[in-house]
């Protein structure tokens, strides 16, 4: 059996949707484990009430992390709270299984996946990663196969160009990973959002393990949400993308029952609905900044 890990921070309205989508679409998993890095206690209590069988593990970050974020004290957050990548690695390192499914709280399954047939198929092919959603021109498909009761699988060769090869054989989540491969890459992250070090580690792992294969599902099985800008960083905040304001507004709507977790599923929440919720309590400048970001940046991620 394979465990499902969900990396989470302060987006319980998406986390609720993610968990529900796993129940709808995933077969053959053992446990759902939320790796939480600072979601406020009231929101986690609500998640526990809705999903009592889901295991929630904490990095040690408490409500103070969101309080500091609202004050934009980024340096103090980094000094006071543990590294999220180290927390994820420590927890997944305990897992006894060879393969693990890693998601993030703002992503959800949109197609049926049967791990009881897919995982043995990947193990037989010595597969390091099977991406459930990402595709780009660097994927040169060498073989196609279909596990029963699941999606078609495309195996591909690593591109000869190193920059493209890294993007081909690695993604930080939204995939089934050979656990040692995931651990090797993520353990090299120097900070949250450090994908460059993970790319380099993935290439090194591939070079040290000849015969590895890499795969993706033929069709997208995961969608990602874009209701909230992804980073709590000075760079984003400098663009007036004040992440905590958007999260607070949407979390409050979810707590009040005004944001149904499955509204619009399997696509993201409708843009006009998000705009309406944000407009209730945010300044017009904040709403306009969100609309400009969403219109300019998000279409890139959808096929």
**What digits encode the pLDDT tens for the residues 201-258?**
999 999 999 899 999 998 899 999 999 976 788 888 888 889 999 999 999 999 999 9
Please state, in angstroms and rounded to a whole number, the distance separating the CA atoms of residues 248 and 47. 16
Residue 141 pLDDT grade (very low, low, confident, very high; cuts 50, 70, 90): confident
Count of Cβ atoms closer than 10 Å to residue 263 Cβ: 13
Burial class (CB in 10 A: 0-12, 13-18, 19+), 272: exposed
Name the segment(s) of the chain with CATH classification 3.90.550.10.
Answer: 2-222
**Predicted local confidence at residue 158, as pLDDT:** 78
End-to-end Cα, the chain, rounded Å:
31
DSSP state of 270: P
Are the beta carbons of 108 and 17 closer than 8 angstroms? yes
d(CA 28, CA 188): 30
pTM tops 0.85, yes or no: yes
Rounded to 10°, the helix 179-186/195-208 angle is 130
Cα three-residue angle 49-25-180, rounded to 5 degrees: 90
What are the contacts of 51-60 at 24+ separation with CB within 8 A?
A: 51/16, 51/19, 54/19, 55/31, 57/33, 57/91, 59/35, 59/84, 59/87, 60/87
pLDDT band at 299 (very low <50, low <70, confident <90, very high): low
Which tokens in the block code for residue 137? 């021109």
Per-residue pLDDT at 160 exceeds 70: no
Please say whether the structural domain 2-222 has been given the CATH code 3.90.550.10: yes
Q: Order of strands across the sheet with 99-104?
A: 55-58, 29-36, 2-8, 99-104, 175-178, 127-131, 213-217, 152-157, 140-146
What mean pLDDT is predicted for residues 36-64? 97
CA 185, 186, 189, 195 torsion-angle sign = positive
Average pLDDT estimate for 130-148: 78
Query: Three-state SS for 143?
Result: strand
Residue 303 clears pLDDT 50, i.e. is over it? no
Q: What is the mean pLDDT of the chain?
A: 91
User: Alpha carbon 23 to chain centroid distance?
Assistant: 17
């Amino acid at each position: 059996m394979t465990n499902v890990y969900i990396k989470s921070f302060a987006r319980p309205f998406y986390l609720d949707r993610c968990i529900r989508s796993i129940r709808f679409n995933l077969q053959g998993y053992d446990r759902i484990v939320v790796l939480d890095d600072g979601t406020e206690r009231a929101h986690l209590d609500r998640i526990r009430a809705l999903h009592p069988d889901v295991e929630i593990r904490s990095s040690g970050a408490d409500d103070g992390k969101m309080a500091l974020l609202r004050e934009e004290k980024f340096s103090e957050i980094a000094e006071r709270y543990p590294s999220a990548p180290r927390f994820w690695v420590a927890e997944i390192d305990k897992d006894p299984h060879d393969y693990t499914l890693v998601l993030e709280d703002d992503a959800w399954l949109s197609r049926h996946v049967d791990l009881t047939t897919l995982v043995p198929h990947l193990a037989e092919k010595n597969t390091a990663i099977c991406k459930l959603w990402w595709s780009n021109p660097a994927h040169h498909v060498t073989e196609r196969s279909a596990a029963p009761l699941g999606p078609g699988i495309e195996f591909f060769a690593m591109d000869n160009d190193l920059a493209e090869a890294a993007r081909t054989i690695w993604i930080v989540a939204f995939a089934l990973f050979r656990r040692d491969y995931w651990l090797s890459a993520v353990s090299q992250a120097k900070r949250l959002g450090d994908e460059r070090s993970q790319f380099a580690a993935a290439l090194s792992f591939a070079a040290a393990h000849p015969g590895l294969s890499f795969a993706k599902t033929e069709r997208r099985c995961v969608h990602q949400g874009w209701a909230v800008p992804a980073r709590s960083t000075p760079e984003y905040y400098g663009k007036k993308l004040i992440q905590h304001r958007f999260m607070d507004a949407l979390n409050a709507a979810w707590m009040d029952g005004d944001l149904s977790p499955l509204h619009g599923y399997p696509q993201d929440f409708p843009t006009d609905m998000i705009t309406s919720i944000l407009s209730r309590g945010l300044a017009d400048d904040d709403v306009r900044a969100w609309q400009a970001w969403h219109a300019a940046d998000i279409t890139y991620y959808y096929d």
